[in-house]
Amino acid sequence: MQRNYIDIMDAAKVADFLLFVMSAVVEVDQFGEMILSAIQSQGVPSVVATVSNLEGTPAKKHSDIKKSLLSFTNHFFPEETKVHAIDNTTETVNVLRMMANQLPKSVNWRDTHPYMLAESVSFEENPSDPTTGTLKVTGYARGTHFQANRLVHLQNFGDFQLEKITSAPVKHRSIHISNGNSMDTESTEAVLDTPDPEEQDDLTAENEPDLMANEQTWPTEEELMEAEGRCIIRANSHTSNCYTHLPCS
């Protein structure tokens, strides 16, 4: 299985829970330790430490294996107090139930930025130019509010300008008390924000170099005028050099 460093870090940026799955028979390799160190530096969401393949080891060693894995986990996530086994369906369901009943940990830098984990993505081609078009991304907005004047970043693709921000249609099920029948209704899409051409961020990330704006060593007019009113006399001695400024006559 191929592991991509950037994809893992991007997933950890938007995750509410980090499910740390370790093996009872194979040690965490160098790549795995690098990922854990990077996530620790980036900002750690809620962590749940688990172990797999525990049933393939002698039962009398289970306790020692869990203690060893917990010690390794605490090196990166000191707040963790337990390693959960996930070798069968019952154990896995218990871990999922525990995660569902927890309040996700807050990541300070992430709470001040808008982000989204996309649920659906569609591309509408430009009729006049099939190589261009509009990408429609639907999901739940997290963190602070998105603004149409600001750029958005798509992993592995770059920065883009927004055309508009709309509310996604959501289906609601209503039940009639009189007859007990239910009916699905869908909310309409509403425009929440559109960019202002005068305030929208430019896609240009760096200034274009101006070869004519290189640093000049020629003195400015102010420096020339200042030099006319004074002169510099340099007196050398055996022990030190001193500079004396005297008015010119």
> pLDDT tens-digit profile of 53-102?
998 899 999 999 999 999 999 999 999 999 999 999 999 999 999 999 98
Find the DSSP H helices in 106-238. 108-111, 221-228
**Alpha-carbon gap, residue 6 to 44, rounded angstroms:** 16
Distances (CA, A) of 166 to 74, 126, 169, 183, 198: 43, 20, 9, 25, 21
Domains of the chain: 5-107 (3.40.50.300), 113-193 (no CATH)
Half-sphere exposure of 76 (CA within 13 A, CB side): 25
The answer for residues whose C-beta is within 8 angstroms of residue 68's C-beta and 6 or more apart is none
**Average confidence (pLDDT) over 142-150:** 92
Question: Is residue 165 classed as helix, strand or coil in its secondary structure?
Answer: strand
**Alpha-carbon gap, residue 172 to 213, rounded angstroms:** 61
pLDDT confidence of 176, banded at 50, 70, 90? Answer: low
